[in-house]
Amino acid sequence: MSEAHVAHHSPPQGFIRKYVFSLDHKVIGLQYYGLALVAVFIGMVLSWLMRIHLVWPNWPIPGLGLLSKNGAPGGVMTPEYYLSLMTMHGTLMVFFVLTNAPFAAFGNYFLPIQVGAEDMAFPRFNMMSFWTTFIAFCILMAAFFVPDGPPLAGWTAYAPLSAVGSDSGPGEGLGQTLWALSIFVFCIASLLGALNFIATTLDLRTKGMTLSRMPICSWAWFITSCIALLAFAVLMPACLLLILDRVAGTSFFIPSGLNISDHLQPHQGGSPLLWQHLFWFFGHPEVYIAILPAMGIVSHILINSMRKPMLSHKVLIYCMMGIGFLSYMVWGHHMFVSGMNPFSSLVFSFPTLIITIPATIMTLIWLGSLYGSKLRITSASLFALGFISMFVAGGVSGFFLAQPSIDIYLHATYFVVGHFHMVMGVAAIFGIFAGTYFWFPKMTGRMMNESLGKLHFILTIIGTYAIFMPFHYLGLVGNVRRYSAFVDDYLIPLIPVHRFITIAALLTGGAQLIFLFNLIYSRFAGPKASDNPWECTSLEWTMSSPPPFDNFGGRHVVVYHDPYQYGVKSSTGDYLMQDSPEGAEVRT
């Protein structure tokens, strides 16, 4: 089998084309990662401010008064500013961290390489997706600085609170319009990105890279792209309609006869439930947009760490497809007490319970595959194992909320907050951490410090359980979420629990500085990484660290093997690279 040679592309010259408006998927992947990193630290600081306010409401937080004179006079937060920070925290985390990092960042960097392509199918679209996302981020950040405050309707922006404008109180003026515009622009970027991922997967696989030979994380990015294409395509027009309601006097989400602040609203004929349906039709699949790439990354890393393939590569992929498919049939479980027809609640409840089956199969396969392995403990594999623990913890609480009868009691309590933070927040972030520790050597050419990584892991897993388990206990008492202070008789005795959570959140957040230090220090002073430090089989490890501009140095790579040839006897040791002709069986 002779390898066809193609022209070696020379990298662009000049700082701007190389690092700013780059067409290189690897640079764009790193840009996404950088943006997510900025967003996650802002989001985390916002959560600290909220947690501090909840338990020490009168303590003036140094510097906060400078950020917002009206929102936090003298550093003491007003109730509306608390809600604004909560809204910004949720929006930043869901869109700019959980969508960007595991999917857009790692996917951009590694999908083309793993399938043997030189770049994405549409490099210009790719550049446009990132910069459009960046614009969306800037628009959202601008909402911090508008006169009547950042938006406060939550990341779900339920109408009519989000639609009627300043009559409904502070935080519902320009800030809310900027929120809707930011998400609208974000949707455009995500749609472009999803199309690009799909085209790349389907069209640019190299010779021998059949679909069944794709590594599992590439499969996860591909399935996620398909979900994202449908989900963002619904949220985008919904945001447009919300903007029109706010600025053009339309009434898509606003019914007639609303009297707000003694002011009869001029709108008529709209439906607040329409917004909920459109939002959650996106919102539920979004959960899987966050978690599927993490599942793929974690599986990829675990296989490498166990030195043997999963019990079944195919079943894992079918399960991810099943989850993606079912994710479109369950959105109504967010609306059990919304006044939707109670029969629909039952209809939405069953697929929600059934989606547990593919999720359980995946969990059992991860667990069962560990049996009889030669598990290498690294920072990456620890976070991957931690992901399983967190996914189970967040998954079982979903079993409660999937049942309308129990949801009557637990809806809108901290139980829900605990559930989604564990299953889509922390679990996905564990996937991001695992991916970072694993791929850092490839992306930068240097190793991260393993001891610091392991310390980071131990503190983080203890910390996250300490934060989010008590959320469930609070939910069982009926502690309502989205309250800026606990003034109800039954909530006051719960404040010690909240204090415990706040301290745990501050400490766990502090532990993330270890990661940040490790990331920055290792980037510049870490020991040099070899091409394949983890002895991994997929294509990204066949090239130098960091990879050359056009990935394969102008050669057309040919794939001879299924992705995970571990536990075999070969000249390299206990594994065979995908492009190794040793024991080859050619498929086209």
Partner 1 sequence: MGKLFAVILVVIALASAVPIITHTFLGASVAPPEDISTHGHAIDEQLSDTMVEAGLSFVAAQLVLAFFIWSFAGKKDGELKTFPGGAKAMVIAAFVLVGTEALALGLLGTKAWANVYFQPAAADALQIQAQAGQFAFYFRYAGPDGKFGAIHPDKIDEGNSNFFGLDPANDVESRDDIVSGELVVPVNKEVHMMMHAKDVGHSFYVRELRIQQDFVPGLDLSVHFTATKVGKYEIVCTQLCGLGHYNMKAYLSVMAQDDYDKWLKAQSQ
What is the closest distance, in whole angstroms, from the C-beta atom of residue 241 to partner 1 in the complex? 16
What is the closest distance, in whole angstroms, from the C-beta atom of residue 27 to partner 1 in the complex? 34
Toward partner 1, which CB reaches closer, 83 or 558? 83
What is the closest distance, in whole angstroms, from the C-beta atom of residue 30 to partner 1 in the complex? 29
Residue with tokens 């005795």: 493
Toward partner 1, which CB reaches closer, 63 or 496? 496
What is the closest distance, in whole angstroms, from the C-beta atom of residue 400 to partner 1 in the complex? 5
Toward partner 1, which CB reaches closer, 233 or 485? 485
C-beta atoms surrounding 390 within 10 Å: 26
**b/e per residue 315-339 (b: at least 16 CB within 10 A):** ebbebbbbbbebbbbbbbbbbbeee
Toward partner 1, which CB reaches closer, 329 or 353? 353
Q: Name 456's Cβ contacts closer than 8 Å, sequence gap at least 6.
A: 379, 433, 511, 512, 514, 515, 518
What is the closest distance, in whole angstroms, from the C-beta atom of residue 494 to partner 1 in the complex? 5
Residue with tokens 């800037």: 138
Toward partner 1, which CB reaches closer, 52 or 311? 311
Toward partner 1, which CB reaches closer, 21 or 400? 400
Toward partner 1, which CB reaches closer, 166 or 530? 166
Residue with tokens 């829900």: 416
Residue with tokens 């102008």: 554
In whole angstroms, give the CA distance from residue 470 to residue 138: 35
Phi, psi dihedral angles at 292 (to 5 degrees): -60, -45
What is the closest distance, in whole angstroms, from the C-beta atom of residue 37 to partner 1 in the complex? 26
Toward partner 1, which CB reaches closer, 444 or 449? 449
What is the closest distance, in whole angstroms, from the C-beta atom of residue 349 to partner 1 in the complex? 6
In whole angstroms, give the CA distance from residue 39 to residue 96: 6
- Cα-based torsion angle of the residue sequence 499, 504, 505, 509 in order, rounded to the nearest 10 degrees: 150
- Give 7-75 as a 3 state SS string: CCCCCCCCHHHHHHCCCCHHHHHHHHHHHHHHHHHHHHHHHHHHHHHHHCCCCCCCCHHHHCCCCCHHH
In whole angstroms, give the CA distance from residue 214 to residue 318: 14
Toward partner 1, which CB reaches closer, 176 or 190? 176
- Give 376-436 as a 3 state SS string: CCCHHHHHHHHHHHHHHHHHHHHHHHCCHHHHHHHCCEHHHHHHHHHHHHHHHHHHHHHHH
What is the closest distance, in whole angstroms, from the C-beta atom of residue 47 to partner 1 in the complex? 17
Toward partner 1, which CB reaches closer, 164 or 289? 164
What is the closest distance, in whole angstroms, from the C-beta atom of residue 469 to partner 1 in the complex? 5
What is the closest distance, in whole angstroms, from the C-beta atom of residue 562 to partner 1 in the complex? 15
Interhelix angle for 450-477 vs 427-444, to 10°?
A: 160
In whole angstroms, give the CA distance from residue 60 to residue 38: 25
